[in-house]
Each structure stands twice: as C-alpha cells, then as structure tokens.
Amino acid sequence: MSETGTVVVADTSVVINLNASGCAGDILAALPFRLVITDIVASEVQEDRRSGRPDAALLKALTDPKRVGIVSLDGTGLEIFADLVIGSAVETIDDGEAATIAYAAVAGLAPVLDERKALRIYAARFQGPPALTTVDLFAAAPVEVALGRAILRDAVFQAL
C-alpha cells in the first residue's frame, strides 16, 4: 500500500463492504490515504436488499473531505468508461467498476476493486499504481492498530 499515494478510488463493492463492517468511519480514519468514489459508484450504493442496511445513508454520513470524496468523470475518463462497458461480455465490466478504473487511470490513482474480472482488466490494460482490494484495506497495519484484533475480526466477519 505504500505505492498508493494519498488518495485511492473505490468501487461500489468496497463501499458496501466497509459499511457492512460496522466500522467504516474508524477504518477510513486509520488508513494512510483518503478514499474517493465516482458519482456513478455513489448512485449504485442503495439499501442492501438482503440485510436492509441503508448503504446510501451510511455513505452520505462518510462523505466529507477527510474521509470520502465524490468525483466525476470527464473527457478521457468518459472515453475509458465507455470502452470498458461497451463490447463483448468477456471484456466489459459493470458501470461502477468501469468508472472506478477510468477515474483511477486518468488521475494516476490506485483503484480499490473486488471483482476478479475488473482486477484482471485493470492489470492488463492500465499502467497505474497496483490495484487494491477491500481485504487490503482491512489488512492495513494502521487499521489493526486503530481497531484492535478482536474488533477487526468482527468487522471482517460482518463485511463477509
């Protein structure tokens, strides 16, 4: 994670996993970087149908300049986005993943993705910082220090 810089851009699944952990604010505060999401990802975050967890409201509570910022694609980012969502099923990904990768590619940021296909496509097509996953966020040493092992263990379990 030392190569990620001061900002990373996260996909929808990452936001959902952080919310499900019950410790999203503490985890984000402990990380050595700030998280941004695209407006496309923000629009994908809704109430979890299975658990009833209000993910959109939880995200709104985290949205501030110190924790989670919301950004938009423009120009080259929109072109990359279109290239990632239009085409054969083998080489396309969903809108949130595509927006995350497109913004990361243009801004030179590390994307935080959980889907293998998106991770594969990012690694094969883009030269930016290495992608991270939700597991990388939970496994960051500062997160364990801030939460303690017992709370971290429970947070990971909840995120599953």
Return the pLDDT at 60: 81
Encode pLDDT of 22-72 as tens digits: 999 999 999 999 999 999 999 888 765 666 767 777 778 777 767 789 999
Does pTM top 0.75 for this prediction?
Answer: yes
Q: What is the pLDDT of residues 59-95, one digit of tens each?
A: 787 777 677 899 999 999 999 999 999 998 888 999 9
List the beta strands (DSSP E) in 39-153. Answer: 68-71, 110-112
Domain boundaries, the chain: 7-159
Check if the beta carbon of residue 140 is closer than 8 Å to that of residue 1.
Answer: yes
Q: Which CATH code is given to the segment(s) 7-159?
A: 3.40.50.1010
DSSP 131: P
